[in-house]
Amino acid sequence: MPQVHGRRIRGASAEWSTHLKRILRAVGENVVSYMEDFVNFPVDDTTGDPLAWSTTVVEAGSGTTTFASTDASGGKAIITTAGNENDGGNYQLNGESFETTSDQDLYFGTKLAINDVDQTDLFIGLAVTDTTLLGGVADAIYFESVDGSATLSAVTEASSTETQSDSVGTLADDTEIELEFYWDGTKVEFFVNGSSVATSTTNIPATQMRVSVHFLTGEATANTCTIDWIRCIQIGR
């Protein structure tokens, strides 16, 4: 079990573990945070969509894509696609609340598992409002994998121009993986399972963004993305 340590970041008190930039929580007047363990993940009684998230689903035929909590120790949520190729869901936390400026630090992290990594598409990270994140987004920081490959890319993108680091990690079927990035005021550093895998100083978005997930099936079969937790913590100003 990794030990929890403390440090000061821009006047705030922060706790970290595993590596210095994995922020568990922070306390201070200049802290904005979103931390979700999916222990209680309310959904709309009529649509079944998460209440705190903007939802856009793609369903080519019958069936329904869902994003809901499931019974699991500590809490988890599952995105389950409908059963047609390119069915899935585009989910963004309500409100563009996080940004990368020189006077702020910003942490994003998640732990997830996909049942069939070669037959799915994944986008997860921070992005401006966009209903088709995998189709191309103007401003974002994210991890991405595409149908037909189990490898991950790490991307910073500003005004539709991207800096992409390929093959930063490899997904495996039904295997949890931790994906994180940290902005320190000058650069974005990406981490996979606690190890630094890429750094970007170019095409850093200069706008407010939302916690964002886009997941699609690449075959005529329903597939799943199970998310254990998501954290996004901004410190500064």
Instruction: Characterize the bridge pairing of strands 224-236 and 31-36.
Output: antiparallel
Rounded Cα distance between 142 and 224, Å, is 19
Per-residue pLDDT tens digits for 176-226? 999 999 999 999 999 999 999 999 999 999 999 999 999 999 999 999 999
Rounded Cα distance between 195 and 184, Å, is 17
Domains of the chain, earliest start first: 34-236 (2.60.120.200)
- Whether the per-residue pLDDT at 123 is higher than 90: the answer is yes
Rounded Cα distance between 189 and 7, Å, is 19
The pLDDT score that the predictor gives to residue 49 is 85
Residue 130: pLDDT band by 50, 70, 90 thresholds?
very high
pTM of the model: 0.95
| The residue to which tokens 């075959």 are assigned | 219
Helix (H, G, I), strand (E, B) or coil at 135: helix
The pLDDT score that the predictor gives to residue 61 is 66
- Whether the per-residue pLDDT at 164 is higher than 90: the answer is yes
The pLDDT score that the predictor gives to residue 71 is 87
Per-residue pLDDT tens digits for 102-120? 999 999 999 999 999 999 9
Q: Among 177, 56, 157, which Cα is nearest to 112's?
A: 177
Per-residue pLDDT tens digits for 58-85? 877 666 899 999 888 899 999 999 999 9
Residues 3-12 have a mean pLDDT of 95
- Whether the per-residue pLDDT at 40 is higher than 90: the answer is no
The pLDDT score that the predictor gives to residue 5 is 96
Rounded Cα distance between 95 and 22, Å, is 24
Of 29-38, 65-74, 148-157, 196-205, the one with minimum mean pLDDT is 65-74
Q: Which helix (H) or strand (E) holds 25?
A: strand 23-27
